[in-house]
Chains A and B, each alone.
Chain A
Amino acid sequence: TQLLEQSPQFLSIQEGENLTVYCNSSSVFSSLQWYRQEPGEGPVLLVTVVTGGEVKKLKRLTFQFGDARKDSSLHITAAQPGDTGLYLCAGANGYKLSFGAGTTVTVRA
């Protein structure tokens, strides 16, 4: 059983469309990180959210941390082919960081 469930597992959309990916858990986290991993590369941190209800925006990417700090979402507006990649969430609990299995996003030109 995964501590962090990410959905959907795969998402394929046309350039210009919007998308949302989810990261859910029954556990409470002190903070939550989102990483993007491009093919053949290692994951790169996009954002860290630490406060329940927090919303962070990074250009076309909007990250939200649930009020109860158990879940998070990532919304991409007007997706571009450069947004293609594996999106991973990671929750911090005490001294430990737990990763989800990721959502593979493909943006078609």
Chain B
Amino acid sequence: EADIYQTPRYLVIGTGKKITLECSQTMGHDKMYWYQQDPGMELHLIHYSYGVNSTEKGDLSSESTVSRIRTEHFPLTLESARPSHTSQYLCASSEGGFTGELFFGEGSRLTVL
């Protein structure tokens, strides 16, 4: 069973608010990821991290930012949310290479009004 947790599971906020989506894993994995998932669309990688103090942008341009101060923690922040940010955000981690098995959290569903 994967030990990766996301909070909040659901969030409804107004435009312009700052939000942080939390992601924590207890498996000691070096690599962590944030994906965006929308109905009928492929999962898009928006951020990834090799390890502590290492973050990179993914394939899909995103206005969000991430940080990796501790191995187990990889939060995603939106400084000023907009309706276009409404989506499901999935956090994942892996050991070994970037193309190995991904362990996903349950997701954070964000709705911006």
Listed in ascending order, the chain A residues whose CB lies under 8 Å from chain B are 2-4, 9, 30-31, 33, 35, 40-45, 48, 88, 90, 92, 94-102
Contacts and interface: CB of A to CB of B under 8 A. Distances in A.
B3 to A, nearest CB: 12
Contacts of B35: 99
B101 A99 contact: no
A31 B99 contact: yes
Interface string B65-95: 0000000000000000000000000101000
A96 B98 contact: yes
Interface of B: 2, 4, 35, 40-43, 45, 90, 92, 97-99, 101-102, 104-107
Contact of A88 (B2, B43, B97): B43
Given A101-B41, A101-B42, 20 more contacts: A35-B102, A41-B106, A41-B107, A42-B2, A42-B92, A42-B104, A42-B105, A42-B107, A43-B90, A48-B101, A90-B43, A90-B102, A92-B99, A95-B98, A95-B99, A96-B99, A97-B98, A97-B102, A98-B42, A99-B42
17 contacts: A4-B42, A31-B99, A33-B101, A42-B4, A42-B90, A42-B104, A42-B107, A43-B104, A45-B102, A92-B99, A95-B97, A96-B98, A96-B99, A97-B102, A98-B42, A99-B42, A102-B42
